Amino acid sequence: MGFVESVRVRIAERKVPPADRALLRDLRRALAHDRVRFDAAERALFAHDASFDEGGVSGPICFPVSTAEVQALTRVAIDHGRAIVPRGAGTGLAGGAIPLGAPIVVSLMKMNRILEIDGDNRVAWVEPGVVNLDLSNQLRPLGYHFAPDPSSQQVCTIGGNVANNSGGPHCLAYGVTDAHIAALEVVLPSGEVAVFGEIGPDETGLDLRGAFVGSEGTLGIATKVAVRLTKNPPAVRTLLLAFSAMRDAAQTVSDIVAAGMVPAAMEVMDQKITNAAENFVGAGYPRDAAAILLAEVEGLEGGIAIDARRIEEIGQRNHATSVRRAETEEERALLWKGRKTAFGAVAQIKPDYYLHDTVVPRSSLAAVLEEIYAIAERHDLVVMNVFHAGDGNLHPLLIFDARVPGEIDRVHRAGDEIVRASLAAGGVLSGEHGIGVEKQGFMEELFSADDLEHQNRLRETFDPICRANPGKVMPIGHSCADIQALRSVPTGVWG
């Protein structure tokens, strides 16, 4: 640490109460001095993630580089009676990484090494801070990739994917993150290290790996992840189908699956988001279409040629106004670039958006989408729809300007109605973003009191002291972690 920085730190520490100076001292004994941060600007940054939530209050921010350091941080947290919140890239959209009650925030971004690639067993051991797309880019020359591909894959991390059981456009055929995690090394809330899962094809005993994936940091911190490697397909065919009605696009998706096909991906975008993405990327999307469907098939050349032709025929039976096939890899990549940058493209319309994540039966897609448009109209809001149509995972974007008085309140009310419309259709709260703090209040509408009690018992088994990411997932009143999240903010909340 340089002289100027050391002076700045000493000045800042004068504001820290004595009890919290002891906490900082012990954290710095566990890590290098410059990897424990507590200045106001950094704490303000780490008080938020990419969600619509107003944010929390961060305590010290730690940047470990090894499992041993995560263990040491956990033991310091226990000694000082503080909660601990793991954090990846902060791209989560449900508030899962927001610190509640000034906990110790453990940023895993410096644990970003690919440790081993085992081609024989088709797994790779990686640290949680490895960026999703970086992993696939390194694997691709070897003939493999990591199948889950969230829209944020250029920045989101494997640890975050594990925490939220993330999905992506190509998870229709391959499954979400859980299907691609063989084993995990985990630092438990007690500070002990455990390994869940096995590299081999058959897992023995209770599936603790499966319980951990999707637990949103409430069961411990993953420090190493064994990801399954997916072979690169020998051939890929991508189609863009345009429709004059959203209902026709939704019906085409249902008919494709009913015909016995499971494409690698089926993504639908409505006219508003299509035009925003086209302005941003120039992918050649048809601007006059009410909806477009991106469908991709993978496999042997002969097989995918047949599937592509069948998809085209099904689309035409459902009144597709045009069908386009990507003729080159560059054209295919541009079509997907438009889809994966669609959320950012809406900034040209209004500065803010609220992105939801629910899942409904495919048979209910058209009806729920019509209800979403009606909800937005009732609340005088703009809504755009882009979603994983194959598995019914909806991602409506409510577009707004937070500077307009009363607009945020309307967005919240509309968002709540969208969730309830999805549940009423037989849907669930999340397909890939997780529950976090965003959807806690709806857990009692999806699960019975007995369901929630058993979920909390599982959590308490891993974390009897209830200090692992408190105040998340379980609704208020159903978790011992309420005490940690809702207690008075500790004295170590620095100005």
Q: So where are the chain's domains?
A: 114-231, 234-345, 350-443
Q: Which long-range contacts (CB under 8 A, 24 or more apart) does 177-180 make?
A: 177/148, 177/213, 177/214, 178/210, 178/213, 178/214, 179/147, 179/228, 180/146, 180/147, 180/148, 180/227, 180/228, 180/230
> Residue 132 and residue 147: Cα distance in Å, rounded?
10
Question: What is residue 204's predicted lDDT score, i.e. its pLDDT?
Answer: 77
Question: What is residue 236's predicted lDDT score, i.e. its pLDDT?
Answer: 97
Q: Which two tokens stand for residue 294?
A: 């991106």
Question: What is residue 5's predicted lDDT score, i.e. its pLDDT?
Answer: 59
- Which architecture, in CATH terms, is 114-231? 2-Layer Sandwich (3.30)
Q: Select from 65, 58, 86 the least CA-distant residue to 74.
A: 86
Whether this prediction's pTM lies above 0.85 is answered by yes
Give yes or no for a contact between 199 and 182, defined as CB atoms under 8 angstroms apart: yes
In the predicted structure, residue 489 carries a pLDDT above the cut 50: no
Number of other residues whose CB lies within 10 A of the CB of residue 205: 8
Question: What is residue 4's predicted lDDT score, i.e. its pLDDT?
Answer: 54
How does pLDDT run across 257-282, given as a tens digit for each residue?
A: 999 999 999 999 999 999 999 999 99
Give yes or no for a contact between 314 and 259, defined as CB atoms under 8 angstroms apart: yes
In the predicted structure, residue 28 carries a pLDDT above the cut 80: yes
What is the mean predicted confidence (pLDDT) over 482-487?
A: 51
How does pLDDT run across 34-80, given as a tens digit for each residue?
A: 999 999 899 999 999 999 888 999 999 999 999 999 999 999 999 99
Domain range 234-345, CATH class = alpha beta
In the predicted structure, residue 495 carries a pLDDT above the cut 80: no
Q: Are 114-231 and 350-443 in the same CATH fold?
A: no
Question: Which residue in the block uniquely carries the two structure tokens 């700045």?
Answer: 8
Question: What is residue 494's predicted lDDT score, i.e. its pLDDT?
Answer: 38
In CATH terms, the fold of domain 350-443 is Alpha-Beta Plaits (3.30.70)
